[in-house]
Amino acid sequence: MLLSCGDALIDFVPVKSADGRDAYVPAVGGSCLNIAVAMSRLGSPTGFVGGISTDMFGTMVADHLAASNVSLRHARHSDNETTLAFVRFVNGEPHYAFYDEVTAAQLWAYDPTLFSFDQIDALHVGSTTLINEPAATEYLTMFRDAKGRTTLSFDPNCRPSLVRNKTKYLARMAEFIAIADIVRMSDLDFDFLFGGTDFQNKANEALARGVALFVVTRGSEGVVAWHATAGQVEVPAPAVNVVDSIGAGDTFQGSLLVALREAGRIERSALEAISRDELAAVLAFGTRCAAITCSRAGANPPWKSEVSPSRDR
């Protein structure tokens, strides 16, 4: 199966009330939860790893995952509160205010006895749970433990407003990148971590240090990836009427892992042998799935039946 590990929360999404006032509607979210939902909806056996509260919002989270057939066998339930995030759009990009102190997500603890990594196709980590302690160290310990036993996927999904010590945060992100087999980030993440848009040099550095696949998504400008033997592969984004971009990157991440699994290229040695055409097909599938998410409100990844049968293979 595929596992997505990290944040599960409630997004409060801005809407207009009937009388024209600003209002917020609660919606289940969290980058790693969205990735789990995307993978499961696309037909891969999927589990979510992280802390889920037993409070009212936590019940919404658990029900949402169950509705998309995501296994909660590896999740930890507690009576700590659910993380809340309020969303505001600035120039089309979502900005967040988080309430994440002493929450179920932040207090999740790694239990090695719950994991048989050799029975997992890929393990993904990322997002807000990697910013603060104790969760950040717990996920890093799990990531190190799983190295060489399953394919490791990493997306920093940076939230600059939450980072209080950027030096420590950058060092921690570098540790995750050094361990990962697949690294995916947005161009905004890249700029926060490294400054600028010199994607190729950083990608080459990552490949030299052991990363098998380095991917940068650039919104409407499409995606570009680097691979040791397939080289640099660029795929345009499909034209789409964008309703909002919440969850688009998460959908891409989940569909990327699903497409690699279906192509028989998810295992590390198979990933190293992927051809240029195969990689282009995998990336194109990811952009199509992300485009569907952008075409509707909220983080609502597509089901397998909604995606074109052609996988561009």
Position 220 scores a pLDDT of: 87
The answer to whether 262 and 209 are in contact (CB under 8 A) is no
DSSP run (H or E) holding 255: helix 248-262
Position 88 scores a pLDDT of: 82
In a 10 Å sphere around its CB, with 0-12 CB exposed, 13-18 middle and 19+ buried, how is residue 92 labelled? exposed
DSSP states along 119-160: G-SEEEEEGGGGTSTTHHHHHHHHHHHHBTTBEEEEE----G
Position 204 scores a pLDDT of: 96
Structure confidence at residue 103 as a pLDDT band (50, 70, 90): very high
Position 313 scores a pLDDT of: 38
Q: Is the pLDDT of residue 97 over 90?
A: no
Position 312 scores a pLDDT of: 45
Using a pLDDT cut of 90, give the percent of the chain over it.
82
Position 245 scores a pLDDT of: 81
User: What does the pLDDT look like over 12-62, one tens digit per residue?
Assistant: 988 889 999 989 999 999 999 999 999 999 999 999 999 999 999 999 999
**CA atoms of 266 and 30, how far apart (whole Å):** 24
pTM over 0.85: yes
**CA atoms of 179 and 201, how far apart (whole Å):** 18
Q: What is the mean pLDDT of residues 269-293?
A: 97
Position 309 scores a pLDDT of: 58
User: What does the pLDDT look like over 201-241, one tens digit per residue?
Assistant: 999 999 999 999 999 999 889 999 999 999 999 999 998 88
